Amino acid sequence: MARTQGSHSGTTGPKVREAALRLFAKHGFAAVSMRQIAGEVGVQAGALYNYTPDKQSLLFDLMKTHLDELLAAYAELPERGRPLRALREFTRFHIRFHAERPDEVFIAYMELRNLTPENFAEIEVLRRTYERHLEDILREGVERGAFDVVDPRIAAMAIIAMLNGVNTWYREGGRLSLPEVQDLYWDMVRKSVLA
Amino acid sequence: MARTQGSHSGTTGPKVREAALRLFAKHGFAAVSMRQIAGEVGVQAGALYNYTPDKQSLLFDLMKTHLDELLAAYAELPERGRPLRALREFTRFHIRFHAERPDEVFIAYMELRNLTPENFAEIEVLRRTYERHLEDILREGVERGAFDVVDPRIAAMAIIAMLNGVNTWYREGGRLSLPEVQDLYWDMVRKSVLA
DNA sequence: CATTGATTTGAACGGGTGTTCAGTTAATGC
DNA sequence: GCATTAACTGAACACCCGTTCAAATCAATG
């Protein structure tokens, strides 16, 4: 046997990325083999190399795509307004965006050490860019006297760490709805920086 | 060759745990081989099995020891006092304790999925016990009217996630000293729950 | 100083790893 | 309907994996 019925790069390609995403998130990059991914796709391991030059690139592409989408989605937030309003929009956006993609988020935070140094550096720039958006909101709030934040850089990291924590426990259909979660966290974020 | 000069379970045993700790933290459990650990210890791979029944137990022991020490250290905190004071002590304790053991903390949060279900369950009980200490402080603060927290369980997880974030950037000898970090975070934690 | 017991070696076990590629088959364009 | 191209197989490559164990050597004991 060789080329199989119904085979298409347009369908196999996404399947490869989806399988890798799910398996990496569940078992970790190092614990997943190319043969496992191929098995999920319904293909032999060799066929994966039509879609990625190697395993490392597969991981990098997943992370890069995730962060590109994060920055693009944030950039398209309509009318962010003044500091307090902007901070609320950031908080709500962050929780929603991350709750919608638990696997991508998990990989992006857990598998950083499995990137080559060059790939790591590229991902870090994107992550840092996102953090700086929040940092800028805080800084402007301090200038306008709306916020009392001694160190905006630290505060930004603290808030993001807190918001990322949602993904460790939030599940759709659980005790709390997403809007309820957003309200609870917004209450804490707001008070933590208020003057 | 067989038994080597100066060999002692009293020295090799700790060396094995230290090497495993460092390597697991740096490369991840799945990416580290028993031969790598043995190499760091200065021994052949077979010798490791005098000190652990298998690789999995090595990981579990590291996590269990870490969490046992965490709970023991918290239990020995002198005079925690009323809610606000207790919350401050918790915050300062958490930051210091975790900053002192970055490798243990990293492993305890990143390698949970590499535990067998039984081992995972045991670790989760300990982690949950620690979380509940904070939850109890918050609950008492709410009862006494000192705190305004809608959902103490969620708030406890949010605060711990925020404090854990310190380990992603804090390094001894960096821009901020540990007391400065403790002050910055205490300021945010305090305000986030205040009535 | 001989003996016992603790400690390690080194080889072996069966199996898995990422990656390459010649060969084969299905889909596509003319 | 036929030639071309895209997609995939299956085997092979060299190597690494966790774990076991008889044999060898050292430390400790009496």
DSSP string, chain B: --SPTT--HHHHHHHHHHHHHHHHHHH-TTT--HHHHHHHHTS-GGGGGGT-SSHHHHHHHHHHHHHHHHHHHHHT-----SHHHHHHHHHHHHHHHHHT-HHHHHHHHHSGGGS-HHHHHHHHHHHHHHHHHHHHHHHHHHHTTSB--S-HHHHHHHHHHHHHTHHHH--TTSSS-HHHHHHHHHHHHHHHHB-
% of chain B residues with pLDDT over 90: 92
Residues 1-40 (B) near nucleic chain D, CB < 7 A = 1-8, 32-36
Q: Is the pLDDT of residue B1 over 90?
A: no
Q: Is the pLDDT of residue A1 over 90?
A: no
Backbone angles phi, psi at A194, to 5 degrees: -65, 150
Q: Is the pLDDT of residue B5 over 90?
A: no
Q: Whole-angstrom Cα distance, residue B37 to residue B62? A: 14
| Residue B48 in contact with partner chain A when CB distance is under 8 A | no
Segment B141-195, tens digit of pLDDT: 999 999 999 999 999 999 999 999 999 999 999 999 999 999 999 999 999 999 8
| pLDDT, averaged across chain B | 96
User: Is any atom of nucleic acid chain C found less than 7 Å from the CB of residue A84?
Assistant: no
Backbone angles phi, psi at A147, to 5 degrees: -110, 150
Q: What is the pLDDT of residue A81?
A: 79
Distance from CA of A11 to the nearest CA of B (A): 30
Segment A129-165, tens digit of pLDDT: 999 999 999 999 999 999 999 999 999 999 999 999 9
Mean pLDDT of B38-57: 97
**Nucleotides of strand D under 7 angstroms from a protein beta carbon:** 6-12, 16-28
- Lowest average pLDDT, out of A6-15, A171-180, B159-168, B186-195, goes to A6-15
Q: Are A142 and A148 in contact (CB under 8 A)?
A: yes
Q: What is the pLDDT of residue A78?
A: 85
Q: Is the pLDDT of residue A79 over 80?
A: no
Q: Are B148 and B97 in contact (CB under 8 A)?
A: no
Q: What is the pLDDT of residue B98?
A: 98
Q: What is the pLDDT of residue A51?
A: 96
